[in-house]
Structure 1
Amino acid sequence: MTLKLAGRTAFITGGANGIGLGIARALAGAGVKLALADIDGDALEIARAELLPLAAIETFVLDVRDREEFARAAKDVEDRLGPVTLLFNNAGVAGGAPVSRLSYELWDWGVDINLHGVFNGIRTFLPRMLELGEGGYIVNTSSGAGLVAGAGAGVLYQSTKFAVVGLSEALAIELADEDIGVSVLCPGPVATNIIERTRALQPSVTRSMTREQLEAARAKSGHMKSFLAGGASPDAVGRHVLEAMSERRLYVHTDPALASLVEERARAIIEAMPTQMLI
């Protein structure tokens, strides 16, 4: 069925920065009421001031790890803007460390935000969508790094982003008979400040690092910042997401750079399969 956006209410985590804000701008132009959730209260105020002339908007300071806060936000959104039928589980972090230095604390922090935060959004809003019976859409933000492993992204980041892809694929199957679409956004580089914001939030791994290790980490961070700076604009990604929703595309990509690597990975998986079932 064709999904009409105008008049619906969207809940966007990580909505005050980067891709989330790009999606919010695109939705505002489509006549959607906006509920922006972000851990950054100052950025929320700036986003609200920008978007208020364009759309009805409410903002919520929210840590996506906090399920009770999710529930409170959902109730407040319904009271102020109406029921949420467009859900964008976009909040995420890019943190990590070499696996030899990957502490339990850092692992739990990254998994709680990048994976559990997505499920928390689904668990909070999907039952309401189903009960309402007016259809809807869920977009989960993963990454190109959730499709193929590569140097630089790290075990923590790639594990969580691969998981979001699998979660989204399974969710699409379960909702196939419902009028609720599912897409998983797997962007390549996008010009955001996610590296800086992640570094400001993540548990420290630098206290016991040698000077050489610190210099290597800083060089890697600088390379990643430059890599992202040359990527797509958040606004272009936001418009592209809405186009993908209109076509009910499960996978949403922002560039073709990983195509050959994804094909190589798929071929390796298939070639590793036995020719007949083991007995």
Structure 2
Amino acid sequence: MQDFTGQVAFITGGASGAGLGQAKVFGRAGCKVVIADIRQDAVDQALATLRGEGIECHGIQLDITDRAAYAAAADEVEHVFGQAPTLLFNTAGVNNFGPIEKTTYGDFDWLIGVNLGGVVNGMVTFVPRMIASGKPCHVVTVASLGGFTGSALAGPYSAAKAAVINLMEGYAQGLEKYDIGVSVVCPANIKSNIAEATLTRSAQYGDSGYVEGPEAIASLHSIYQHGMEPEVLAAHIMQGIRDKALYIIPYPETKDMLAAHFARIVDAIPALETDPDGAKQRTDALMAWAQGGAKVFTPGA
């Protein structure tokens, strides 16, 4: 996708931070923008900002963990703009920091439910509609640099983002034949209000094992204030879409860290010493199955 004029963009977490940055940058490029966010007051404020720039936009209050609400939002987009989105931005995310050994079930359910489950809901809701439209489309999912490594202080968040990266790799393989591109964005730090994410945590998730409250939020704000400007990140995303890039990681300062991390993984694989033909057969069989080239054994068949 090279021209964004007239494209319909659906952006979760679109009322602030990275999502609002995407709404501004892609709206200025001619997209019709739908911002979805759990906070109605933030949606209203963002719509006023976007319309002040002359951007055609629509807002929907949406909890991305609510599948029925997601389906209703998709129907609303088609009613308002007459078509399914051609650009899907899975941007909404939440985080909280604390010792992994103190993580509660509620912490896991909330952090993984939003950061992974919300992405799953977006894909299952919109991908069939994108395919049915027959139009070239693109999916952008915001993961995190933290998805490449584990974290003793952000364990559930990093695990969810790792799954998101893996999931987008799979969708990229599966959707290419439909002319639907897929990109996964892995930021190191963004200037956003994710520090206030705990304020949107539902009581249904129970107690957290982490420290919460104004002091914790202020501490996180002190970190995120140094992040990349959302509109700068959105410009990198736009270029990534044009380049058909699967990975968008506009943080060159992280390159050595990632290289060292993956080098440790590769170095853990022993050198091939015996039975090279057998090893090749094992690998070939596995790859053939993964690519759908081998018959799956069915008991009784």
Question: What TM-score, normalized by structure 1, do the two folds share?
Answer: 0.90
1:243 is matched with which residue?
239
Structure 2 equivalent of residue 123 of structure 1 = 124
Identity of aligned residues (%): 34
> Which of 1 and 2 has greater Rg?
2
Q: What secondary structure, in the 3-state scheme, does the structure 1 residue paired with 2:35 have?
A: strand
CA deviations on 1:42-78 (whole Å, 9 max, x unpaired) are 0100111111242221111000000100111111110
SS in 2 for 1:75: helix
SS in structure 1 at match of 2:93: coil
Q: What is the alpha-carbon distance in structure 1 between the residues aligned to residue 229 and residue 20 of structure 2?
A: 11
1:2-45 Cα distance to aligned partner (Å, 9 max, x none): 44211111110000010000000001111100111000110100
Label 1:26 to 1:148 Cα distance change in 2 as closer, same or farther (>3 A).
same
1:86 and 2:78 matched: no
Q: Which residue of 2 aligns with 1:269?
A: 265
Given that residues 20 and 90 in structure 1 are in contact (C-alpha distance below 8 angstroms), is that contact kept between their aligned partners in structure 2? yes
Q: Distance in 1 between matches of 2:230 and 2:90?
A: 16
Q: Which has the higher contact order (CA 8 A, sep 6+)?
A: 1
Structure 1: runs of 5 or more not aligned? none
Q: Distance in 2 between matches of 1:230 and 1:171?
A: 32
Question: Is residue 2:259 matched to residue 1:259?
Answer: no
What TM-score does the superposition give when structure 2 sets the normalisation length? 0.83
Residues in 2 aligned to 1:73 and 1:218: alpha-carbon distance in whole angstroms: 33
8 Å Cα contact 1:232-1:254 kept in structure 2: no
Looking at structure 2, the residues matched to 61 and 105 of structure 1 have their Cα atoms a distance apart, in angstroms, of: 23
Determine the structure 1 residue equivalent to 2:43. Answer: 44
Superposed CA RMSD:
2.3
Counterpart CA distance in 1 for 2:26 and 2:214 is 36
Aligned equivalents of 2:55, 2:152: Cα separation in 1: 41
State the distance in 2 between where 1:275 and 1:82 align: 57
My pick for the range that moved more, 229-238 or 112-121, is 229-238
Amino acid at match of 1:86: L
Residue 218 of structure 1: CA displacement? 8.0
Report the Cα distance in structure 2 between the residues aligned to 1:36 and 1:177, rounded to whole angstroms: 28
Cα distance in 1 between the residues matched to 2:95 and 2:187? 13
Paired with 1:253 and 1:223, the residues of 2 have a C-alpha distance of 25
Distance change in 2, residues 1:155/1:218 (3 Å): farther
1: CA distance, partners of 2:73 / 2:216: 37
Letter in 2 for 1:71: A
Which residue is equivalent to 1:114? 115
Counterpart amino acid of 1:224?
A: L
Look up the match of 2:25.
26
Partner AA of 2:23 in structure 1: A
Contact 2:108 2:156 survives alignment (8 Å): yes
For the pair 1:35 / 2:34, whether they are aligned, the reply is yes
* SS of residue in 2 equivalent to 1:257: helix
By how many angstroms is 1:181 displaced? Answer: 0.8
| Structure 1 runs of 4+ with >6 Å offset | 217-220
The number of residue pairs the alignment matches comes to 270
C-alpha change, 1:235 and 1:225, in structure 2 (3 Å) is: same
Aligned equivalents of 2:56, 2:96: Cα separation in 1: 33
SS state at 1:100 partner: helix
Structural mapping, 1:32-181, within 5 Å: 32-53=31-52, 54-83=54-83, 84-150=85-151, 152=153, 154-181=154-181
Matches within 5 A, 1:174-193: 174-193=174-193
Deviation at 1:150, TM superposition (A): 4.8
Q: For the residues of structure 1 that align with 2:189 and 2:42, how far apart are their CA atoms?
A: 22
Is the CA contact (8 Å cut-off) linking 1:9 and 1:82 kept in structure 2? no
* Distance in 2, Cα, partners of 1:122 & 1:103: 27
Match of 1:225 among 221, 235, 240: 221
